[in-house]
Every structure is written in structure tokens, then in C-alpha cells.
């Protein structure tokens, strides 16, 4: 199994401005091209965590997705992140993975954040499956999903679990704890990418995006500034660890 270099793209997302956020994405891609195989972005990275769909253009999703596909080809990198998406009459918080100009995988956020009104305007997803990227099994999830371990503690055991988030600074200690817990209980690399700055609803975010190993070891943690950091994931070490400590075989569900 090949190793993979992952870029954590911690952004100060511009409120409801896909064009400005795409400009930021292009700069990130230019800087990491040839250095990373996968770039992870925050939740709703193209608009900010706007839960009032009256202020979201229905065309923004496709416009942004097309640009992501173009960047994935131009810079030869897979890109993962979530966006508001209008599909068949319903709004979804949709996390996508694109690579080589194609849409590789789609995940619609299952747990909508009731406290911020997300569940009032968005529809919850129903499917949560593992997919393969560069020969590595991956599961992608969104922010509030991190609080619900049953999404990952099941028969499917991906090598990498990815969370994109708009996780506010007032609860950032829980973010760090839960990421480490998901890594240990699944014996998987866990990548969590959060935003920084203040959004249009007045929520403050202090980043703390991080990568944690299958054994719960911190590989990298960002501070509260906009930044992109690369981390190399040694997949052979993960397989060796699982073989040495085959805890996953004892799962009942």
C-alpha cells in the first residue's frame, strides 16, 4: 500500500462568496501542487456555515464543483470539502471528493446541527459508505457527525477518516478529544479540518485542524491562523499496527 501526503487547508472562509473562496483554493492548490496527493477543506468552505438557504444561490454548488474538478486536473490533486447543494428540490450539506476532473464520491451530512438551524433548512443524508482513493479506503464525514461514533464503528474499517468542519472555538476542546477517540477506536488515521475567523452569523472559529494516527498520536495540529500544512501518512505502519493489535476483529456490529 502506498503512502499518501495530505494537505490540511485551514481557511478563513469568506462569507457567501464562492468566487473569493475559489480564488483562495486556487492559491492553495498552486502552493501544494506536486507535494500532496489530497487536499482537505473545511465544511461549507465556499460559503461559510450559512444555514439560511434564502441567501444561497442554487447555482453556487455546480459552479464551485466544476472549478474544483478543473483544479484537481490542473494541479493533479484530489480535493475534499463540503458545500451547500440544491438537488431535486432539497438542500444538502454535501461533502465531495474530486480527482482527475471527476466526481469520485459524494456524502450528504447525516447529522444536521439543530442548534444553528441547519436541520430546519437542510435535508439529512442517509448513506455513509467507504470508498477507495489511491488504493486507500476512505470515509468522509461532516462536523457534527464527529459526535456520533456509530457512523464509524461498524463493519467497514477505512484506513483514513476525514472530517471537514465549522467547529466553534467555544467547544474546540471537544473537537480535539473526539478526533483522537475516533482514531483510536477505529485504528485509523483521522484528519479533521476546521475553519478560522468569524462567520456572518457571528460565530468564532480558532482552527485547530489536525491529523491523528491510528494509535492516537498527534501528527500535526494547526493554530488559529489561516494556513495549509502537509502531513505524510504511512499506510504500511497502519496495517502492521492492526495486525499486531487486531482489536477490530472483536467488534460485534
Phi, psi (deg, nearest 5) at residue 45: -65, -20
Give the distance from CA 148 to its chain's centroid. 16
Give the distance from CA 18 to its chain's centroid. 18
Q: Are strands 210-212 and 218-221 parallel, antiparallel or unpaired?
A: antiparallel
State the distance between the two ends of the chain, measured CA to CA, in whole angstroms. 27
Q: Is 226 exposed, middle or buried (0-12, 13-18, 19+ CB in 10 A)?
A: middle
CA 180 to CA 111: how far, in whole Å? 20
Q: Which of 115, 82, 142 is nearest to 151 (CA)?
A: 142
Catalytic residues, by residue number, are 43, 109, 143
Q: Which of 63, 126, 68 is nearest to 92 (CA)?
A: 126
Phi, psi (deg, nearest 5) at residue 138: -135, 140
* Residue 37 grid cell: 496527493
CA 24 to CA 8: how far, in whole Å? 14
* Residue 34 grid cell: 506536486
CB 134 within 8 A of CB 121: no
Amino acid at each position: 500500500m502506498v503512502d499518501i501526503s495530505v494537505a490540511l487547508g485551514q481557511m478563513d472562509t469568506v462569507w457567501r462568496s464562492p468566487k473569493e473562496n475559489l480564488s483562495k483554493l486556487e492559491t492553495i492548490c498552486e502552493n501544494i501542487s506536486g507535494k500532496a496527493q489530497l487536499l482537505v477543506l473545511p465544511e461549507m468552505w465556499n460559503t461559510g456555515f450559512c444555514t439560511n438557504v434564502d441567501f444561497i444561490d442554487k447555482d453556487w454548488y455546480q459552479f464551485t464543483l466544476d472549478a474544483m474538478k478543473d483544479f484537481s486536473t490542473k494541479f493533479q490533486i484530489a480535493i475534499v470539502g463540503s458545500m451547500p447543494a440544491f438537488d431535486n428540490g432539497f438542500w444538502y450539506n454535501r461533502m465531495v471528493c474530486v480527482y482527475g476532473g471527476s466526481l469520485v464520491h459524494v456524502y450528504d451530512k447525516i447529522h444536521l446541527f439543530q442548534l444553528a438551524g441547519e436541520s430546519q433548512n437542510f435535508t439529512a443524508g442517509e448513506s455513509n459508505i467507504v470508498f477507495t482513493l489511491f488504493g486507500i479506503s476512505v470515509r468522509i464525514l461532516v462536523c457534527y457527525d464527529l459526535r456520533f461514533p456509530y457512523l464509524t464503528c461498524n463493519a467497514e474499517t477505512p484506513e483514513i477518516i476525514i472530517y471537514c468542519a465549522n467547529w466553534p472555538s467555544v467547544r474546540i476542546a471537544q473537537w480535539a478529544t473526539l478526533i483522537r477517540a475516533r482514531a483510536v477506536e477505529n485504528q485509523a488515521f483521522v484528519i479533521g479540518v476546521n475553519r478560522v475567523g468569524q462567520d456572518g452569523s457571528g460565530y468564532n472559529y480558532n482552527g485547530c485542524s489536525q491529523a491523528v494516527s491510528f494509535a492516537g498520536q498527534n501528527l500535526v495540529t494547526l493554530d488559529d491562523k489561516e494556513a495549509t500544512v502537509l502531513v505524510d501518512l504511512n499506510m504500511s505502519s497502519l496495517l502492521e499496527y492492526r495486525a499486531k493489535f487486531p482489536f477490530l476483529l472483536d467488534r460485534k456490529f
